Structure 1
Amino acid sequence: MFPPHWVPKIFLCGFTEGMDEGLSNTPLKAFAICLIVACGLHGNNTHHSPPGRKHMFAIRLEGSCMAKRKAANGEGTVFFRKRDRKWVCEIIVGRDPTTGKKQVIRFAHERKAEVSAWRVQKLAELRQGNLVAKPSEQTVQEFMEHWISTTLVHEVKPSTVNLYREMLRYYIGPGLGKVPLAKLTPQMVAAFYHKLMSDGLSPRSTQIVHACLRRALQQAVDWQLIPKNPVAAVKKPRSEQKEFTALTPEQVKRFLDAARESRLHALFTLAVLTGMRLGELLGLRWQDVDLDKGTITVAQILERVGSSFRFNSPKTKASRRTFELPAACIQALRRWRREQAEERMRVGPAWAHPELVFTTTLGTPLSHWNVTKRDFRAVLEKAGLPRIRFHDLRHTAATLMLDQGVPVHVVSRVLGHASVTVTLQVYAHVLEQKKKEAARAIDEFLAAHGE
């Protein structure tokens, strides 16, 4: 079967191979080594070596473990490590998000049964998504700062990035920032929410914190820094029904009368009669206003980003809308266009934004703070009205439209709600009152006809 000069070599190879299992470091093995060397098996005599065996001796001397027998993909590898006489299991659990290298976990034990049990347990955890190679040593604060500055800035608008930074600075950082990312639990998150609301933070603001934290930690899961998102197991804080103040028709008249003496009279008229948001009004361009057709298109907003401002597109498809204007709004805009033209002539080429409908006296964008805290409050005070939020003008417009019998779906479109459902939820009490009025109207009709 083999050439005669192979037989002693093959015999000795098999002999020492068997000794590897139980005769390590014995005189008998030393004797075998000498015989192998004498026979020329160890050396450069590769011409006469049995196929595939020429480096066997070197492997047996230098190797510290048996050859690994690879299991099926995703099943791990079990082998015997001779240097410490232990069975070892290796499982690939993923790849490093930065280097792309395989991430491996290992377990060693004298008993193969223990290693097999560990392998079964870890493979089950891996399939359930509960296993990572090396849990992150970062704190929540460190991870979120890195994630916001390197990843989030490329995914969302600057105003959203600023919101996340504010949530981290004022709430998440002080509450959970020092907690190691890998040790954050659902119980800790739930207790954190409870403390926020106990300290006076509104449910709505707590919901925003929840959304920020959940998104951030989901990224940590995707990067295989933690096995599961602890925030996903915590229910979103329930928000209370929003309370708002809507001006009565008589108060609206007083408000409009007082606003006529304000430089921003057209802005306040649009706000209280159409329900446009402040950012939509400050970003409004003349090219989006058609006074001949009596329509307006919301195509741009001015959003606040920290201490600066930025023009952007409306956040949702529903927010980008075109609707007809009441006659009072058309009249106010015509008057304002003449007044603004006079201001531009006085300033000349230095006028910064000729395309904007509402600007400062130098043509620069208006400040959200100045409009709401200074100009708006001045009009309220002049009209003798209670101090309300600027956003309550939006609620006032919606209430006026519903009171006048404007269909809900039309009101929803004018306001730029994502769906009619939103309008129904926000103004449920107004619609309930309309139902009662409808019932009384039917009763009056029947009474008038002798029913």
Structure 2
Amino acid sequence: MASIIKRGQNYRATVSLYKNGRYYRETKTFSNKKDAQIWALSLELEKGRGKNLLDRSTPYPKFYRDWVETVKKNEVREATFINYMRTITIIEKLFENIQLKNLDDIVVQKKLNYYAESHSKKTTHELLLKIRSSLKYAYARGVIPNDFGCLIKANGKVLPKRNIPLSVAEFKKLRSYCLDHQEDDEFNVLTLLALETGARRGELLGLKKEDISQYEIRILRSISPTSDSTELKTVNSKRSVSITQDVYDAVKNLADKKETFIFDTNGFHQSIQLQKLLKRLNIKKTTFHGLRDTHASFLFSKDLSIDYISKRLGHNSITTTQQYYLELMPEKKHQQDADALNLLNALSVDE
């Protein structure tokens, strides 16, 4: 049973814990007796529910590391697991030796706010998602009294979007150049295929000669700079994507010169190569992933079925695909603005 002893102006509450044949004590000091009684009673109730109170003294960084190395390792792709491993150092620096029992939404929020001072909101949010997931697991294990992860918010710098879709005119200009100069540099063929299929960089780098057939490419693997695994990002990433005759000819001509993989990884410097190419053509900056957004936005602008576009991009759900509606081609937006104004003007005419 719990005991409460007055010491000077304060009250010390003690709860006895038992594990592996040994007794332990959990103590905490309060300025008034009522708070001490509430704390002691809550721990006694937790004991009665079979919660593992002793493990609540585990430092959060240690718990987080164990969670990543034992739980997440078997749940996620190798590349994703490596990303989780990188966050361990961040958690160790932020939380040092703070024990699980001393964590609450205020403590975690302050630490995350400090991290956000030097990181983008997107990066901070990605860390928050991992923290929330670990706290949910900790709550299920009974080593924290409640799951307060949903109360924590991500702040940080809002950086300009880098994956900017090209306009229709820029799309045509880049595609035409790559077709006309396919023999100059194999990167032009890689860019051409990215525009044509909307495939991810790793998926294109993972293409082999046997993955090419007339009017389509088969995406069966992905190559990453951070992992030896060739596993695709999602279940639906394994797919066939149709291509035009002229693009097929360009890819086939290059494939005939290779032994296995069609494209060289080139140290995964495709982003640098793309910036040089765009600058040469006086086309606005975007990333290699921006070519994927360009492909999706172009298809949206032509009113193709969202279900078809989702499957073509290898998304797990249509919900993921719908996010691309936020980045419509500029020409499509102007047209929609005009259509919206015409509808509004028609209201006055009808009256």
Whether the TM-score (by the shorter chain) exceeds 0.5 is: yes
Structure 1 residue 150, shift from structure 2 partner: 4.2
Cα shift at 1:271:
0.9
Identity %: 20
The residue that corresponds to 2:349 in the other structure is none
| Residue 310 in structure 1 maps to residue 232 in structure 2 | no
Asked whether 1:402 is paired with 2:300, we answer yes
Tell me which residue corresponds to 1:267.
190
Distance across 2 between alignment mates of 1:134 and 1:329: 64
Q: Does 2:46 correspond to 1:125?
A: yes
The number of equivalent residue pairs is: 315
The answer to whether residue 276 in structure 2 is matched with residue 357 in structure 1 is no
1:207 aligns with 2:125: yes
The Cα of 1:393 is off from its aligned counterpart by: 0.8
Aligned with 1:156 (options 76, 82, 101): 76
Name the Cα RMSD after superposition.
Answer: 3.8
CA deviations on 1:123-181 (whole Å, 9 max, x unpaired) are: 5335778x533144432333333433344333332212211122232x32322233223
| Counterpart residue type for residue 88 of structure 2 | L
> In 2 relative to 1, CA 192–120 (structure 1 residues): closer, same or farther, beyond 3 Å?
closer
Q: Deviations over 1:266-286 (max 9, x none)?
A: 211111222111111112233
Matches within 5 A, 1:177-188: 177-188=96-107
- CA shift for structure 1 position 314: 1.8
Which shifted more, 216-225 or 396-405?
A: 216-225
TM alignment of 1:64-103, pairs within 5 A:
101=20
Counting only pairs closer than 5 Å after superposition, residues 351-390 of structure 1 correspond to structure 2 as 354=260, 356-359=261-264, 365-368=265-268, 370-373=269-272, 375-390=273-288
Q: What TM-score comes out, normalization by structure 1 length? A: 0.59
- Find the partner of 1:414 among 312, 316, 327: 312
- Once the 2 structures are TM-superposed, how far is the Cα of residue 441 of structure 1 from its aligned partner? 9.3
Asked if 1 retains the 8 angstrom alpha-carbon contact of 2:166 and 2:284, the reply is no
Q: Which has the larger radius of gyration?
A: 1
Distance across 2 between alignment mates of 1:178 and 1:425: 40
- Residue 366 of structure 1 and its aligned partner are, at CA, apart by 4.5
Structure number with higher helix proportion:
2
Partner of 2:149: 231
Cα distance in 1 between the residues matched to 2:138 and 2:21: 18
Gaps (5+ residues) in structure 1? 1-75, 77-88, 108-116, 345-353, 360-364, 444-451
- 2: distance between equivalents of 1:219 and 1:403? 43
Asked whether the 8 Å contact 1:289–1:295 carries over to 2, the reply is yes
Instruction: Quote how far apart the aligned CAs of 1:334 are.
Output: 1.7
Give 1:55's aligned residue: none
Please give the TM-score of this superposition, normalised by the length of structure 2: 0.74
Instruction: Decide whether the 8 Å contact of 1:172 with 1:209 is kept in 2.
Output: no
Which residue identity lines up with residue 270 of structure 2 in the other structure?
Answer: V
How far apart are 1:318 and its partner, in Å?
A: 2.6
**CA displacement, residues 87-134 of structure 1 (integer Å, 9 cap, x when unaligned):** xx9887xxx7xxxx5887789xxxxxxxxx9997555335778x5331
Answer yes or no: is the 8 Å Cα contact 1:247–1:396 preserved in 2: yes
Q: Per-residue CA shift, 1:267-324, capped at 9, x if unaligned?
A: 1111122211111111223333222xx122222111232xxx3233223223222231
Instruction: Using CA pairs under 8 Å that are at least 6 residues apart, name the structure with larger relative contact order, 1 or 2.
Output: 2
Equivalent position of 1:134 in the other structure: 54
